[in-house]
Amino acid sequence: MGLIQDEDEWLSILEDRSLSVHTYDEALAEELYNSSSYLKAMKDLTKAIKSFK
């Protein structure tokens, strides 16, 4: 299908999601929240899904 362009980025997103779910480290939460590369990956995926229809 080709919906995800950068597999490594998405693996990082999944790893960080796992870290953030199981920790209560505020500094880590802030770092993940401010990660602009993740936002771009999610916007790219949204765009790919919309164009797939």
Res 1: pLDDT = 61
Res 49: pLDDT = 92
- Spatial distance between the Cα atoms of 13 and 52, rounded to a whole number of angstroms: 23
Chain segment 38-47, per-residue pLDDT in tens: 888 989 999 9
Res 44: pLDDT = 92
User: Is a pLDDT exceeding 80 seen at residue 4?
Assistant: yes
Chain segment 14-31, per-residue pLDDT in tens: 988 888 787 778 888 888
Q: Provide CB contacts within 8 A for 35, sequence distance 6+.
A: 16
User: Is a pLDDT exceeding 80 seen at residue 50?
Assistant: yes
- Spatial distance between the Cα atoms of 35 and 10, rounded to a whole number of angstroms: 13
Q: Provide CB contacts within 8 A for 28, sequence distance 6+.
A: 19, 20
